[in-house]
Chains A and B, each alone.
Chain A
Amino acid sequence: MLPARSRRVRAVREAALGYLLVLPALAVFGVFVFYPFAQNFRLALYETPPYPGLPSRYVGLHQVGQVLTSSSFLQSLGATLLFVVIVVPAGLLGGLLLAVAAHRRLRGMTVYRLVFSSTVVSSVAVSALVFGTLMDPVVGLLPWLGLNPSPPILQNTTWALPAIAVMAVWQFLGLAFVVMSAGLSAVPEEVLEAARVDGASERTVFWRVTVPLLSPTIFFGLVVATIYAFGTFGQVDILIGYSNAAFEHVNLLVYDILNTIQVTKTPGQAAVLSIALFVLTLGVTLVQLRFIERRVHYGS
């Protein structure tokens, strides 16, 4: 006799296995992603006292309003938005250009590709130190190039933010290059060749054929770059800090959140800022999805 188990029993066992396999990841997400995210909404409604141990006070939306209209928030909002607007297009464009340039079967191309993707190894701290030195008024490269703003770049209220932006773009280039290269290799060579045979110039080929075919990749890069840009803060922490004169102009949102957690120790306010950050990131992504994805050309 062969062993028999009814269909229902088998389905139940399989379902149990499925849930078991998913459980570890889900547990991590539950505790460290979803719970904190939800908790933000609760925290935002409570004001915590400056001394630990004392109960927090429910203040409802009052705190939310307070934070969102505070000058420091508006400042960081402005700085962050400006930052994103600089970094995202610059990073993507840079990655795209490098990818296109390297997408040839010429000699030594492997070396170039390696070089272009190399910045993926750079961390926030690395890029901060590297550029921090380059921009140092005494030992850096800039004075030699004749750029000697006063006050020095990293304390300069006008130029501090662009300086940080440059660091962020440089750090992002490697990843942008890899992503764009991968997308480029999915563009069928025959289509480009057909266009060339049809008499199109390189520029036309690029804008009329390559870019549309590459649009899903560009779109993906756009979403990733945006989320990355909104989350930038490390360079600010390492190179600038609160005491810096230019601080207000570089007070990116995440830095503000950190500040609120560690220095002023007001988790309620931090929560409000976190929600603001999330809404901002999500909002921009949704806008991208809505308006830009429409022009993305899927399929071949």
Chain B
Amino acid sequence: MAGGLAQARVRERRVEAGAGAGEGDRGETQLAEVAFRGATKRFDGRAAVDHLDLDIADGELLVLLGPSGCGKTTALRLVAGLEEPDEGAISIGGQVVNDVEPKDRDVAMVFQSYALYPHLSVERNIEFPLRQRQVPADERRRRAREAAGSLGLTDLLDRKPRQLSGGQRQRVALARAIVRQPKAFLMDEPLSNLDAALRLQTRADIVALQARLGTTTLYVTHDQVEAMTMGHRIAVMDMGVLQQVAAPSDLYDLPANAFVAQFLGSPGMNLLPAVLEPGQPSARVSGGHLPLGEGAAAAAARAAPLVVGVRPEHLFLSPAGTLGATVLLVELLGAEVQVLCRLEDQTKLVVRQDASAPRPAIGEGVRVAASPGTVHVFTGEDGTRLGGPG
């Protein structure tokens, strides 16, 4: 369930953005939560979305995150009605919409390629959704201009899409989505075609926009930095299956399984096959051992084989380290240094430490230590979390 926690987060951000704690510019009091209930979609026998259960709170910005092919775009298209579920139900605002046509669902979509009508001017592009809904001409123009204004497009109204830069086209696509004041926004990797600097700026703009409007938003991306900075919550998917849905910090600090652990973070969590040391709260790995907290050790005792995980920033080089490794690469990242090491069994380990710490040489044998309370334990079979960190 989205729960009160999600709602609280939504309200928090909206207050930050300067909107009231109410419904914002939507002007309607309808709730627009979105829900997946056992939704399944298959292509050629393979499940692109596999029995998905997910709730998005009214006004929430939920990010669907995962590697390509994980089913996030398909899930988005199920909400839009561009795909129909083979099993299960999609509901918007509490009503099951499986049989409702896309045009009647009152959702707006921002495509990765923007999908602007090349033969229409910016103004006409933005007006387009309104023409179908029999909105009178002057009202149409007013709303289009308003939407354009809120995205800084007022000077570009007469241009055609091919005369615009990537960032400008993106904003036109956004304007077209907001002009309808829909129940929900569906965004399919809208930033992936922009260059890095523009991406940063537009990210912030989208977050502010969403907070101000208070519209429920489903945002698809494969970029975890985007996900971490934008979403109220993140739903991580892999191979059509929902791995975990939680707030960014929870996802990072308490990953539900090994996949989430190594997907988030740059680089992701180090994962090592391990065996519980008999009688001690410690896990034996290739080249040494890592300390476990009591709870983690107890949980680990019930299952074997194990995988332990620890993030690079929680490791450091120290002569008293419990793990022996050989240095492969040392990368200077400004304030930090990233050291790629190799364990006895050829597993790679990434250590990140402060640039001021003594730097090893390539090929040198070093000892690695883990800060206390940072080691996670997962089962070796399917990667589910057992316990930790600690």
**A residues whose Cβ falls under 8 Å from a Cβ of B:** 1-7, 10
Using Cβ atoms and an 8 Å threshold, which residues of chain A touch B106? Answer: 2
* 7 closest cross-chain pairs (CB), A and B: A4-B99, A2-B100, A4-B100, A2-B104, A6-B99, A3-B104, A5-B99
A16 CB → nearest B CB, Å: 16
| 20 A-B pairs with C-beta separation under 8 A | A1-B95, A2-B92, A2-B95, A2-B97, A2-B100, A2-B104, A2-B105, A2-B106, A3-B100, A3-B101, A3-B104, A4-B97, A4-B98, A4-B99, A5-B99, A5-B100, A6-B99, A7-B84, A7-B99, A10-B101
Using Cβ atoms and an 8 Å threshold, which residues of chain B touch A2? Answer: 92, 95, 97, 100, 104-106
Using Cβ atoms and an 8 Å threshold, which residues of chain A touch B99? Answer: 4-7
Looking at chain B, what size class is its interface with the partner chain? Answer: 10 to 19
Give Cα A7–Cα B102 distance, bound, in whole angstroms: 12
Give Cα A4–Cα B81 distance, bound, in whole angstroms: 12
Give Cα A254–Cα B92 distance, bound, in whole angstroms: 67
CB contacts under 8 Å to A, within B69-125, are: 84, 92, 95, 97-101, 104-106
**B residues whose Cβ falls under 8 Å from a Cβ of A:** 84, 92, 95, 97-101, 104-106
If over half of A's interface residues share one DSSP class (helix, strand or loop), that class is named, otherwise mixed; here it is: loop
Using Cβ atoms and an 8 Å threshold, which residues of chain A touch B84? Answer: 7
Give Cα A5–Cα B104 distance, bound, in whole angstroms: 11
Using Cβ atoms and an 8 Å threshold, which residues of chain A touch B98? Answer: 4
Give Cα A3–Cα B105 distance, bound, in whole angstroms: 9
Using Cβ atoms and an 8 Å threshold, which residues of chain B touch A4? Answer: 97-100
B92 CB → nearest A CB, Å: 8
B363 CB → nearest A CB, Å: 45
Give Cα A165–Cα B106 distance, bound, in whole angstroms: 66
Using Cβ atoms and an 8 Å threshold, which residues of chain B touch A7? Answer: 84, 99
Closest residue of A by beta carbon distance from B105: A2
Given contacts A2-B105, A3-B104, A6-B99, 5 further A-B pairs with CB under 8 A are A1-B95, A2-B95, A2-B97, A2-B100, A5-B99
Give Cα A3–Cα B106 distance, bound, in whole angstroms: 11
Of the candidates A3, A4, A7, the one having the most CB atoms from chain B within 10 angstroms of its own CB is: A4
Using Cβ atoms and an 8 Å threshold, which residues of chain B touch A1? Answer: 95
Of the candidates B99, B101, B105, the one having the most CB atoms from chain A within 10 angstroms of its own CB is: B99
Using Cβ atoms and an 8 Å threshold, which residues of chain A touch B100? Answer: 2-5
A9 CB → nearest B CB, Å: 9
A90 CB → nearest B CB, Å: 44
Using Cβ atoms and an 8 Å threshold, which residues of chain A touch B101? Answer: 3, 5, 10
Closest residue of A by beta carbon distance from B92: A2
